[in-house]
Amino acid sequence: MRLDVKTIVLPLPSDELLGVVERSLRVSFPEAYRLFIKENNGAVPITNLFSFNQHDYLIEKFLCVLDESESDPINGWYDIEVTIAQVGDRLTDNEDLVGMNVVPIAALFSGDFICLDFRETEEPTVVIWFNEESEEFSPVTQRVALNISEFFEMLRE
């Protein structure tokens, strides 16, 4: 996967900051995703297209992890936890859940998100979360890859 390095959001997240986010969400990110975000926080991919079920999807931007999202008026809106705060009740089907089991990691051009889906296993699958079709505690998702590495391999220019 190729990325526009000029779009990487600095400072890059540390292991400690990623740990804080993981504890807040009550998930453990896959190692491949941890490595990716530590080097490419919030980057815009050049290889930003993927096809699934006879549809092409365009990744607008990977979400970022910021220590203080409110201090960055542009990229703060793309912080993972800020995104969850905006759509969280539509990302889960369990109103008693503490933490998250569907975590957005990339914004699609259509307003939908690529997410890590922890609902079935600790090693998350990768899904598209459909914004307009989802309702409170009724997320609409479609699995596109068995894991994050497989998803990264799907991306093309």
Q: What is the CATH number of the domain that holds 76?
A: 3.40.1580.10
Amino acid at 7: T
Percent of the chain with pLDDT over 90: 85
pLDDT (0 to 100) of residue 121: 86
What mean pLDDT comes out for the span 78-95? 92
pLDDT (0 to 100) of residue 99: 86
Structure tokens at 35: 């490595």
**Confidence label for 94 from pLDDT (cuts 50, 70 and 90):** confident
**Confidence label for 144 from pLDDT (cuts 50, 70 and 90):** very high
What mean pLDDT comes out for the span 111-131? 95
**Confidence label for 1 from pLDDT (cuts 50, 70 and 90):** confident
Distances (CA, A) of 45 to 30, 49, 79, 85, 155: 20, 9, 16, 24, 9
**Domain extent at residue 119:** 3-154
Percent of the chain with pLDDT over 70: 100
**Confidence label for 88 from pLDDT (cuts 50, 70 and 90):** confident
Q: What is the DSSP string of the chain?
A: --EEGGG--SSPPPHHHHHHHHHHHT----HHHHHHHHHHTTPEESS-EEEETTEEEEEEEE-B--S-GGG-TTGGGGBHHHHHHHHGGGT-S-TT-SS-SEEEEEEETTS-EEEEE-SS-SS-EEEEE-TTT-BTTB--EEEEESSHHHHHHH-B-
pTM of the complete model? 0.95
Contact 38, 13 (CB under 8 A): yes
Dump pLDDT digits (tens) for 34-66. Answer: 999 999 999 999 999 999 999 999 999 999 999
Give the span between the Cα atoms of 33 and 40, in whole angstroms.
10
In the predicted structure, residue 98 carries a pLDDT above the cut 90: no
Dump pLDDT digits (tens) for 127-138. Answer: 999 999 999 999
Q: Domain count for the chain, please give it.
A: 1
